[in-house]
Amino acid sequence: MEGTPVTVESVREVGPGTVALELETPDGFDAAPGQFVLLRAVPWDVADEEVDDDDVVMRHYTLSSPAVDETFELTVGIDPDGDLSPWLADLEGGEIVHIEGPFGTITYERDTDVVAAAGGPGVGPAVAIAEAAHESGHGAVVIYQDDEPAHRDRLETLEEAGANVVLLESDDDDGLADAIETHLEDGQLYAFGFESFVTTVADAIEDAGGDPDEALIENFG
């Protein structure tokens, strides 16, 4: 299988329908918050059979740890009808997956205040960037739209450290637009999430008089 084999160190639930995978860091691998990897695996039992290319499923996942040490973290929203995410959520640790990367030009270099908007599993990189901002003495706002929020403990810790955390229901696009308008000038704007979420964020930036092209937007597809 293409990519570098890495051990899944642990998998833990971090919210309803959401898991965090801690992966062993391969030699020479480094990544900035905002970047993503291509993860390959064979998500069904072919133990005694020859694995061919048709069995391999590959998906992109964005780092959700503020830094890469011995391990790094990915946050995966479970799509019950999906090919890979339910399989990843069922792992126990000790399994091998293959990764390639890091990829992506959207990075946080610990050099400015941030406003991180997240929809669904986009909360992973949003929290990571907010944590990296705090660690480097910068301000952070997290705007997070999800009916069943994940990473609540990390969001609470961020709030206690002075970050501004805005939690919104999934259908509250007016609230999302208000929050974007309120915090437009508070730092470099990032957005992470699936197509409809990042489109709503881009529209909200434009409606508020900002330039969506200046926002760093990662579309999960």
Ligand X SMILES: Cc1cc2nc3c(=O)[nH]c(=O)nc-3n(C[C@H](O)[C@H](O)[C@H](O)COP(=O)(O)OP(=O)(O)OC[C@H]3O[C@@H](n4cnc5c(N)ncnc54)[C@H](O)[C@@H]3O)c2cc1C
> Contact residues for ligand X (CB under 6 A)?
36, 59-62, 75-77, 79, 81-85, 121, 124, 218, 220-221
Minimum CB separation from ligand X for residue 193, in Å?
A: 9
Return the residue nearest ligand X (CB atom).
82
| Closer Cβ to ligand X, 66 or 124, answer by number | 124
| Closer Cβ to ligand X, 36 or 197, answer by number | 36
| Closer Cβ to ligand X, 209 or 219, answer by number | 219
Tokens of 135: 């660690």
Minimum CB separation from ligand X for residue 103, in Å?
A: 7
Nearest to residue 61, comparing CAs of 192, 184, 189? 192
Minimum CB separation from ligand X for residue 65, in Å?
A: 12
Minimum CB separation from ligand X for residue 157, in Å?
A: 20
**CA–CA distance, 48 with 189 (Å, rounded to integer):** 49
Nearest to residue 109, comparing CAs of 184, 218, 215, 33? 33
| Closer Cβ to ligand X, 87 or 203, answer by number | 87
Nearest to residue 99, comparing CAs of 33, 54, 28, 40? 40
Q: Are 37 and 103 in contact (CB under 8 A)?
A: yes
